[in-house]
Amino acid sequence: MVKVKNIIFDLGGLFIDVYMHRFPDKIAERLGSTALESLQGLQQQGFFDRYEVGGLSTNDFLEELQQELNAGLSLDFYAAAWNAILGEVQPAQLMLLEPMRSEFNIVLLSNTNDLHVDALEHDFAKKHAGARLDGFFDQVYYSQRIGERKPNRAAFAHVLQEQGFVAAETIFIDDSPGHLLGAQAAGIHTLLHPSNTDLRPTIAKIKGLSR
């Protein structure tokens, strides 16, 4: 039986609905389907991953999109298209964490970037009287700010080392099967959560493991 003391949660698909298809959809809607070939080229070159680990500033990210796709469209257009990936923050899911914090150390590890974080925090504060997303966790780790992203083992090692967590006492929850592999390589237990669904069944599984 696993004695879980520490929980590392993903963000998108658990506490925030995400729709990855919306970004290319917005680009194709404005620029036509041929622009998708350029997006695929950028993806293959690791362009988006570079942004997510801090290899590009937000301005550089947007300017390169503008240069590659259509210089006649504003940076604001590209920022809005990128942020279209984000759905609604789910406050009910976040509230599930509060009673758990006396029993577990709870942190967040997300592949994300400043454009998304700023949009999410602004929207959440506006709708919930100034509350902050990061206030629901003991610590948050965003890939752009730590310079590592899932599923790289180094991203998980960073969290374990900084928090002083024992891997065998830690569980990682994500909606991406591929991301779980990096956690497992670091010796962390894992659970797959179905994207954009009720978190309560997954939390029940965690509590079952910790008994």
Which helix or strand (DSSP H or E) is residue 50 part of? helix 47-52
For 68-83, the DSSP string reads: HH-TTS-HHHHHHHHH
What pLDDT does 162 receive? Answer: 97
For residues 177 and 193, the answer to whether their CB atoms sit within 8 Å is no
For residues 189 and 170, the answer to whether their CB atoms sit within 8 Å is yes
Residues making up the chain, counted from first to last: 211
Which two three-digit tokens encode residue 155? 């991203």
- Please report, for residues 103, 121, 136, 172, the alpha-carbon distance to residue 95 in angstroms, rounded to integers and kept in the order given: 15, 16, 8, 19
For residues 137 and 107, the answer to whether their CB atoms sit within 8 Å is yes
What pLDDT does 134 receive? Answer: 85
Sign of CA dihedral 28, 61, 141, 46: positive
What pLDDT does 2 receive? Answer: 67
Coil vs helix vs strand at 49:
helix
- The CATH H-level (homologous superfamily) assignment of domain 6-17+88-210 is HAD superfamily/HAD-like (3.40.50.1000)
The residue ranges of every structural domain in the chain are 6-17+88-210, 22-83
pLDDT tens for the chain, residues 1 to 211: 568 999 999 999 999 999 999 999 999 999 999 999 999 999 999 999 999 999 999 999 999 999 999 989 999 999 999 999 999 888 899 999 999 999 999 999 999 999 999 998 888 888 777 778 888 999 999 999 999 999 999 999 999 999 999 999 999 999 999 999 999 999 999 999 999 999 999 999 987 776 5
Residue among 47, 58, 29 nearest 38 (CA):
47
**Phi then psi for 173, rounded to 5 degrees?**
-115, 125
What pLDDT does 81 receive? Answer: 97
